Amino acid sequence: MNRLRALWHRTVGYISPTFVILLCASFILWYILKLQYTYTTDYSVVVNINGDRLRVPCVVEGKGTNLLGYRMYLQREINIPLSDLKYTLTQMMDEESGEVRDDVLLIEPQSIQNAISVRVSDIKIVSVGDVPPLFPTVKDEN
């Protein structure tokens, strides 16, 4: 432990506090400049469809500042009414008994991509991954 303290005090004696401050300032400026570029990344968007929440995997594109803002500050969900989406209503079968178990809504990926794009203006939704099936709590007619 004493050796570590001695090493620390010798290292601090060689490094100027001004150098450390300027190094930190240059890193911050470099990071700010990098945020102005356009980036493409994976991002999961939380969507509320008539009270049912889905996590939709998306590929998004936008400036670094906008992407950082959405990732850090806007952890909110996007409300989309079911009437704005194209979907098919199917029924799940229980494999053991062969009986109909639940109604399932399969939402078309292009439909949900367009709906999310309209509601998010700062970033571009490039593509949408596999949309999880929706088990509606209230049956809606198409």
DSSP 86-103: -EEEEEEEPTTT--EEEE
Instruction: Give the per-residue pLDDT at 75.
Output: 65
Kindly state the tokens that stand for 120: 């998010």
Q: pTM for the whole thing?
A: 0.69
119 and 101 within one domain:
yes
Instruction: Give the per-residue pLDDT at 92.
Output: 74
46 and 28 within one domain:
no
Instruction: Give the per-residue pLDDT at 74.
Output: 62
**Residue 134 burial (10 A CB sphere; 0-12, 13-18, 19+):** buried
Give me the number of domains the chain comprises. 2
131 and 109 within one domain:
yes
87 and 117 within one domain:
yes
3-state DSSP call for residue 118?
helix
Query: Rounded CA gap, 45 and 74, in Å?
Result: 10
4 and 69 within one domain:
no
19 and 46 within one domain:
no
Kindly state the tokens that stand for 91: 């029924």
List of the chain residues with pLDDT < 70: 74-75, 94-95, 101, 137-142
Instruction: Give the per-residue pLDDT at 124.
Output: 92
Instruction: Give the per-residue pLDDT at 28.
Output: 94
Domain assignment of residue 27, given as a range: 1-34
Query: Rounded CA gap, 136 and 49, in Å?
Result: 9
3-state DSSP call for residue 78?
strand
89 and 24 within one domain:
no
95 and 49 within one domain:
yes
Instruction: Give the per-residue pLDDT at 140.
Output: 47
27 and 47 within one domain:
no
**Which residues, other chains included, contact 99 with Cβ-Cβ below 8 Å and sequence gap of 6+?**
93
99 and 59 within one domain:
yes
3-state DSSP call for residue 76?
coil
Instruction: Give the per-residue pLDDT at 91.
Output: 79
